Structure 1
Amino acid sequence: MATTPAPASALPKSGAVSKGYNFASTWEQNAPLTEQQKAAIAALSHAVAERPFPANLEKSSGKDGGAAVPEKESALEEAGAMDAVLVNTHQFYKWFAELESAMKSETEEKYRLYENTLEERVNTCDGILKQVDDTLNLFEELQSLHSSVATKTKTLHDACDQLLVEKQRLIEFAEALRSRLNYFDELENVSSSFYSQNMSIGNEQFLPLLKRLDDCISYVENNPQYAESAVYLVKFRQLQSRALGMIRSHVLSILKGASSQVQAAIRGSDSGKNIVTEGIEASLIYVRFKAAASELKPILGEIESRSSRKEYAQILSECHNLFCEQRLYLVRGMVQQRISEFARKEALPSLTRSGCAYLMEACQFEHQLFAHFFPSSAADVSSMAPLMEPLCTYLYDTLRPRLIYEGNIDSLCELVDILKVEVLGEQLSRRGESVASLRPILQRILADVHERLAFCARTHIREEIANFRPTDEDLDYPGKLERSVDTSSSATVGDNSDVYLTWYRPLEKTVSCLSKLYRCLEPSVFTGLAQDAVEVCSTSLQSASKVISKKATPMDGQLFLIKHLLILREQIAPFDIEFSVTHKELDFSHLLDHLRRILRGQVSLFDWSRSTSLARTFSPRVLENQIDARKELEKSLKATCEEFIMSITKLVVDPMLSFVTKVTAVKVALSSGSQGQKLDSVLAKPLKTQAFASPDKVAELVQKVATAIQEDLPKVMTKMRLYLQNPSTRMILFKPIKTNIVEAHIQLQSLLKSEYSTEEMQSISMLPIPDLQSQLDSLL
């Protein structure tokens, strides 16, 4: 029987086995075998899988070639089992048990040996593991001690680092405190330096001390929370005031010294008078000051670099004023003398041109000298105002009285051109910022010229146009035009010098005045003057037309007015302005009605809630009246042209118009049937039987019209050519006249066709319409 292997639970369990198994597993995981190693193990396992029987169990076959005896039987025989006599079953079972025990012992012997070996090795491993455990415990204790030492060391290091940080922070705090206290400690150092007898502007320590003082003031100003900062600030400012006062005194001393040297050189020079005569550009009064500029340049440069602070801006402004005072003291006499010489020798336009050119030159030289002293301030025009304004005032005071008495518009317009175009437009732009300080005074002079020019223009419009008193020669139309035609026929071709001689003088004055003022005055001022001038000129032309109509003929008066209104419209067309002016007036006309109602007790004077309250009652109404001179001119021209057209039409075809009107009135009365039996009996007769409409009467009026067309109408055209030189203008004016004449003939011809026979129409001899049109066209 096969033996049953002992269960796993029967194997001895120990810590060494478990640790060994764990060790093998860990080893297998951490150090796996390669494929080659695994193949070698498999080959070794296969080789030892079938072990041969032991030599004592093997029995070779007999010599007779019999079969070999099985190993078990041989073994039993060797054990003597086969010699036993089995009598009964009990013996068999005993024998079998013994045999089975012997076989089991033989089979499990090698396992017991292996087990014993393993137990010995396990015991050995347990001893080793115990030693290892003891060693590990020692290591753990050592590691614990090491951790404790490391913790203590780290704590010590952290404490040292914290101390170093605190030390550094205290050092920084001490340094910060020392740096802050340095600003306060500087008070004593700076005070002792500034109050020292050796301290002056020329000392090389002055500017560094001044800068340090500025830094201290800035720091104390920015930190008012510090104790006694206000006290220190006051003391620092006192030192700064003293330093700036020293700078001001030094600058004044240098400038006065340079001025005294220049004056002494002028007085000691034989050519001192020539210096004044030759002009302000004399080099003597600039060379000495340029040397002074080199001496003051370091300190003035420092002041300009700190001009963002109000204290330095103030001292810089004072230095500017000191410079301007000294320069003005030197040059004002020369400038005044030169301008006085110009005023004695030259007229107002020449004086303006020469004076402005001279002042520009002086201003340019002074600006260049100013730039030597104050390079950063030279761009500011206002810095030189204390110098340039008094110099410019000499020219202004010289021009102003002469300007007030100047009444010639041409001279005033020339002044405007000089100031606006030459001086402000060309010279000022060409010289740039160096003469920019002259701009305010020049604009002031220009404004005065504009004001005087506007006043003179209004006076000219009132006196020469509105109040013009024409002479017989002024109203000699058409004689003046006829003489002009004779003169122009003998003159050379293209000579239009006498064109203006045929104009009515107020028109000539209006056009001339407006053409001069257009480029000289502001648009708003010119608009008002132009509106007034056109209005009064149009009124003057209408008055002259009435006088000419009485002295000559109504046709002359009409053509005179048309001619001059057309010229006026043409001459004002280039002016790019609106001739519309809004007049505002206060209207008190409603006050009387309100006062009456108050006196009657209808309303209360103190009822502020009603529209008739005291405030509203005595508040005037503002009335706006817009007048457009150009539109009024167009309206007057249109009315005059229509009047002329109707007068010429009536002159030529008045008989026809009267006849057609009378016939139309008769037909209207007949159709109404309200005039009684007598009228009915008259109207019942044919038209040609009427006395006024007989063929003879009609032929007579047709002949009268034909005579007017042949005789009167050419005279009209001659007059039109005399007054209106432009053919297109005559054509435009003649076209409605022609239309009216043709229309009158068409109406009469239509009436004749309906009321008269062919023979009667032939006896009347009315001209055909196409022939009439050709005849009228030939008159052009």
Structure 2
Amino acid sequence: MSIKDKIPEGVFKRRFRNLNIVNSITVNGIREGLTNKEMTTTTTRTGVPNSEAVSRGYNFASTWEQNAPLTEQQHAAIIALSHAVVDRPFPSKLENISRENNGLSVSTKHGTVEESGEIDGVLVNTNQFYKWFTDLEAAMKSETEEKYQQYVSTLTERIQTCDSILQQVDETLDLFNELQMQHQVVATKTKTLHDACDRMVIEKQRLIEFAESLRNKLNYFDELENVATSFYSSNTNVASENFLPQLKKLDDCITYVENNPQYAESNVYLVKFRQLQSRALGMIRAHVLSVLKSSTSQVQTALKGSGGNKATVSEGVEASIIYVRFKAAASELKPVLEEIERRSSRKEYVQILSECHRIYCEQRLSLVKGIVSQRISEYSKKETLPSLTRSGCAYLMQVCQLEHQLFDHFFPSTSEDITSLAPLVDPLCTFLYDTLRPKLIHETNLDVLCELVDILKIEVIGEQLSRRSESLAGIRPTLDRILADIHERLTFRARTHIRDEIANYLPLDEDLDYPGKLEQSPEIKSDPTSIELSSDVVKTWYPPLEKTVSCLSKLYNCLEQAVFTGLAQEAVEVCSLSIQKASKLVAKRSSQMDGQLFLIKHLLILREQIAPFDIEFSVTHKELDFSHLLEHLRRILRGQTSLFDWSRSTSLARTLSPRVLESQIDAKKELEKNLKATCEEFIMSVTKLVVDPMLSFVTKVTAVRVALSSGGQNQKLESAMGKSLKEHAFASPDKVAEIVQKVNAGMQDELPRVMEKMKLYLQNPSTRTILFKPIKTNIIEAHEQVESLLKKEYSQEEIDNIKMVSIQELQAQLDNLI
């Protein structure tokens, strides 16, 4: 441990400031690590004796410095100390030291080192140095310990003070803990008291709410006496101010008691409340009846004063008195009726509201039924059935609209329900219905019935009723009923018309005058199969055809599709049969060809005229068949089967059960079938008329060839097998030439007449072209067959003598005829 570590820095500095060391063995020498030789030389220079003790001391110091080297920090402190010592002057006490003495000396004048801090003498050996250093160290330690002793004393006093303070703090803490415990006890008691207060407040609030709830519930029961006193009072009436509020209280009490049947005597209170409610509703009913009767009486008096007879009052005055005055007279009922409508969710008020509706309708009906009946009777006497229907419906719709507006004034919330006003509207509509129905039943004209359908379906229901559907909804059932009656009557008359005028039509002589009837008519330029037909064209038709087309065109937009389909199928079927019957009569009267063309003409017209109708002309007929019943009864009588064998197919139930036979008739397909057959018949008849000789010749040739190919069975055939075709009598060149001449004559004479008749009956060129095309084909095929035979069996000279027309010339000749 170095000197600096043992001596505090302040003491070290203070001690060495008092030393007068000149050219002595200083710490600088130790710090610089002087060797013994250097130390000896230095001592010699300074005049100090060169002793062995000094040498050992220096060696010891050097060894000490090597064994205990200083740190860099210590070196820096020593250097700083050296500079501080060199720069400062010696104290005045050390100035008397002899500067002449070159040895290491320290003088001490009075007292010891401890007293004066000075050392007088010369350190000549190590012991002296150690002794001096020990004394110095002891002095320094004494000074240091004294300082620390003072510090320890101070600390001890302060510790004692702190102990005293700590003891006081402990006592204070004990007091504080005790105070805290007391505070905790007080806080606990306070919290308990606070919780108890909160519970008491909550309990108080609960009791208050319970008392309030109980009071509110008891109020409903307490109201019984108040309401009963009010309703049984002689001064109470519906018009008073307190009536409706009391009625509302009564309804609330009934609702509450109904919803809480668990309360004691709730059933008893409910019965009493309902009794009061019945009394109140009875008062309302009586009040409404009284006010409405009074209003009716006032209006009737006004009517009598205006015209003497309400049936003779003008329509303007009638509307003013019946509707305006009645509305003003009955205005006092509006608050009560609105209150009833507002409570119509309850069944009791539904019933009283219905009663008010009925009373209102009865009073209004007694007021207006005479006027409406008289007005419709006047229309019935003056106008025709279509005009009566139009005027009566218009007047009835006007009355119904005014009545609906008046009803809406009294009952604004329930006026949309058409059933509410039905007791008034239905009797008024019945007047018109009862007036129209007898006339409808006796009406036989289809045109009038169709006009009635148009009036009701298009004008009344389609236009007027659709614009005011809400106010006129009550009249719609009556209009539909009248329209249904007209449909029924129209259907019946249509069937009668089809039966009498079409199916059972008895033709007159002029009806069968064909082709004279066509020849007498003016030239028809338009297409007779078109929809728009002139009167001249229609006059050439057979009357049942004209009646059928006219009837169907009238009924198409007047009847429902299902009904019209049945009538159309029946009409087309009987018309087709009637035309076929007439064609036979025409054939007998004129010619077979006239009958065929007559049938073709009218069937074509009928087919084209029914084409625009978008319906199916097929009808399914169902009928019961009992034909199997006789055979089953025979088997039962023979004992072949049992009557009571319910498990077999021959049981009584199956035996007596009829069979349902279904048959479908399509009038349009039947028409097409008849038309096709007639056209084919006409084509064959014209073909035979022109080329029948050629067809007979070809037939005979074919028969001969067949006989020759099958082999002869007799002498005559065997002899004929060796002959050629022209060697036969029927096929000689002269016979063939005769046949060709007959055909050419027919082509020149008969065929033009046929074409003239076709033009007379069938004015449409395309129709004639279609019908003549197979005739042309048949004629050309006949000529081609004969020409083929001639080329195979006859010479060219014979063919030239026969003078057969070429196919090209024949086609050109036929084309010119169309």
Tell me, yes or no, whether TM beats 0.5. yes
Normalising by structure 2, report the TM-score: 0.82
Whole-Å separation in 2 of the counterparts to 1:206 and 1:520 = 58
- What's 1:41 paired with? none
Please report how far the alpha carbon of residue 408 of structure 1 lies from its aligned counterpart in structure 2 after TM superposition: 1.5
* Residues 1:213 and 2:253 are matched in the alignment: no
- What's 2:797 paired with? 759
User: In the alignment, residue 67 of structure 1 is paired with which amino acid?
Assistant: I
Please report how far the alpha carbon of residue 108 of structure 1 lies from its aligned counterpart in structure 2 after TM superposition: 7.0
* Residues 1:126 and 2:163 are matched in the alignment: yes
Conservation of the 8 A alpha-carbon contact between 1:279 and 1:338: no
Conservation of the 8 A alpha-carbon contact between 2:522 and 2:536: no
Q: Say which SS state the counterpart of residue 627 (structure 1) adopts.
A: strand
The correspondence for 2:542, drawn from 504, 510, 515, is: 504
Are residues 486 and 97 of structure 1, via their aligned partners in 2, closer, same or farther at CA, if it must alter by over 3 Å?
Answer: closer
Please report how far the alpha carbon of residue 166 of structure 1 lies from its aligned counterpart in structure 2 after TM superposition: 0.9
Whole-Å separation in 2 of the counterparts to 1:78 and 1:488 = 176
Whole-Å separation in 2 of the counterparts to 1:517 and 1:174 = 82
Are residues 743 and 61 of structure 1, via their aligned partners in 2, closer, same or farther at CA, if it must alter by over 3 Å?
Answer: farther
The correspondence for 1:630, drawn from 662, 668, 677, is: 668
Conservation of the 8 A alpha-carbon contact between 2:303 and 2:309: yes
Conservation of the 8 A alpha-carbon contact between 1:279 and 1:334: no
Q: Say which SS state the counterpart of residue 604 (structure 1) adopts.
A: coil
- What's 1:614 paired with? 652
Within 5 Å, give how 1:46-195 maps onto structure 2. 50-53=9-12, 55-56=14-15, 60-63=19-22, 65-68=23-26, 117-195=154-232
Within 5 Å, give how 1:174-253 maps onto structure 2. 174-253=211-290
- What's 1:26 paired with? none
* Residues 1:520 and 2:529 are matched in the alignment: no
Larger mean CA deviation between 341-350 and 381-390 belongs to 341-350
Are residues 339 and 69 of structure 1, via their aligned partners in 2, closer, same or farther at CA, if it must alter by over 3 Å?
Answer: closer
User: In the alignment, residue 725 of structure 1 is paired with which amino acid?
Assistant: Q
Are residues 131 and 601 of structure 1, via their aligned partners in 2, closer, same or farther at CA, if it must alter by over 3 Å?
Answer: farther
Please report how far the alpha carbon of residue 356 of structure 1 lies from its aligned counterpart in structure 2 after TM superposition: 1.8
Q: Say which SS state the counterpart of residue 775 (structure 1) adopts.
A: helix
Larger mean CA deviation between 159-168 and 222-231 belongs to 222-231
Stretches of structure 2 that go unaligned for 5 or more consecutive residues are: 31-60, 62-103, 527-531
Please report how far the alpha carbon of residue 277 of structure 1 lies from its aligned counterpart in structure 2 after TM superposition: 6.3
Please report how far the alpha carbon of residue 739 of structure 1 lies from its aligned counterpart in structure 2 after TM superposition: 1.4
User: In the alignment, residue 251 of structure 2 is paired with which amino acid?
Assistant: D
Conservation of the 8 A alpha-carbon contact between 2:726 and 2:794: yes
Please report how far the alpha carbon of residue 60 of structure 1 lies from its aligned counterpart in structure 2 after TM superposition: 3.3
Whole-Å separation in 2 of the counterparts to 1:661 and 1:776 = 24
Whole-Å separation in 2 of the counterparts to 1:119 and 1:762 = 180
Please report how far the alpha carbon of residue 188 of structure 1 lies from its aligned counterpart in structure 2 after TM superposition: 0.4
* Residues 1:604 and 2:642 are matched in the alignment: yes
Conservation of the 8 A alpha-carbon contact between 1:61 and 1:69: no
Larger mean CA deviation between 265-274 and 364-373 belongs to 265-274
- What's 1:442 paired with? 479
* Residues 1:670 and 2:708 are matched in the alignment: yes
Please report how far the alpha carbon of residue 565 of structure 1 lies from its aligned counterpart in structure 2 after TM superposition: 0.6
Are residues 53 and 573 of structure 1, via their aligned partners in 2, closer, same or farther at CA, if it must alter by over 3 Å?
Answer: same
- Deviations 1:4-55 (CA, angstroms, capped at 9, x unpaired): x9xxxxxxxxxxxxxxxxxxxxxxxxxxxxxxxxxxxxxxxxxx98445164
User: Which one has the largest radius of gyration?
Assistant: 2
The correspondence for 1:284, drawn from 290, 303, 321, is: 321
Give the count of matched residue pairs: 731
Conservation of the 8 A alpha-carbon contact between 2:369 and 2:428: yes
Are residues 475 and 114 of structure 1, via their aligned partners in 2, closer, same or farther at CA, if it must alter by over 3 Å?
Answer: same
Q: Say which SS state the counterpart of residue 536 (structure 2) adopts.
A: coil
Please report how far the alpha carbon of residue 122 of structure 1 lies from its aligned counterpart in structure 2 after TM superposition: 3.8
Please report how far the alpha carbon of residue 97 of structure 1 lies from its aligned counterpart in structure 2 after TM superposition: 12
Within 5 Å, give how 1:485-500 maps onto structure 2. 485=522, 496-500=534-538
Please report how far the alpha carbon of residue 762 of structure 1 lies from its aligned counterpart in structure 2 after TM superposition: 2.4
- What's 1:682 paired with? 720
The correspondence for 1:703, drawn from 741, 752, 756, is: 741
Whole-Å separation in 1 of the counterparts to 2:153 and 2:652 = 142
Normalising by structure 1, report the TM-score: 0.86
Whole-Å separation in 1 of the counterparts to 2:637 and 2:597 = 59
- Deviations 1:48-68 (CA, angstroms, capped at 9, x unpaired): 9844516446663545x3334
Are residues 60 and 735 of structure 1, via their aligned partners in 2, closer, same or farther at CA, if it must alter by over 3 Å?
Answer: same
Please report how far the alpha carbon of residue 190 of structure 1 lies from its aligned counterpart in structure 2 after TM superposition: 0.5
* Residues 1:649 and 2:608 are matched in the alignment: no
Whole-Å separation in 1 of the counterparts to 2:549 and 2:153 = 151
Task: State the Cα RMSD in Å.
Answer: 3.5
Please report how far the alpha carbon of residue 216 of structure 1 lies from its aligned counterpart in structure 2 after TM superposition: 1.2
- What's 1:395 paired with? 432
User: In the alignment, residue 184 of structure 2 is paired with which amino acid?
Assistant: S
User: In the alignment, residue 316 of structure 1 is paired with which amino acid?
Assistant: L
Conservation of the 8 A alpha-carbon contact between 2:524 and 2:763: no
- What's 1:412 paired with? 449
The correspondence for 2:390, drawn from 353, 358, 374, is: 353
Stretches of structure 1 that go unaligned for 5 or more consecutive residues are: 6-47, 87-92
Please report how far the alpha carbon of residue 604 of structure 1 lies from its aligned counterpart in structure 2 after TM superposition: 3.3
Larger mean CA deviation between 554-563 and 432-441 belongs to 432-441
- What's 1:8 paired with? none
User: In the alignment, residue 196 of structure 1 is paired with which amino acid?
Assistant: S
- Deviations 1:197-227 (CA, angstroms, capped at 9, x unpaired): 1111221111111111111111112222222
Whole-Å separation in 1 of the counterparts to 2:608 and 2:267 = 80
- What's 2:772 paired with? 734
The correspondence for 1:378, drawn from 406, 415, 429, is: 415
Larger mean CA deviation between 480-489 and 201-210 belongs to 480-489
Whole-Å separation in 1 of the counterparts to 2:765 and 2:27 = 170
Whole-Å separation in 1 of the counterparts to 2:713 and 2:141 = 180
- What's 2:495 paired with? 458
Are residues 592 and 107 of structure 1, via their aligned partners in 2, closer, same or farther at CA, if it must alter by over 3 Å?
Answer: farther
User: In the alignment, residue 24 of structure 2 is paired with which amino acid?
Assistant: G
- Deviations 1:701-751 (CA, angstroms, capped at 9, x unpaired): 222222211211111111011111111111111111111111222222223
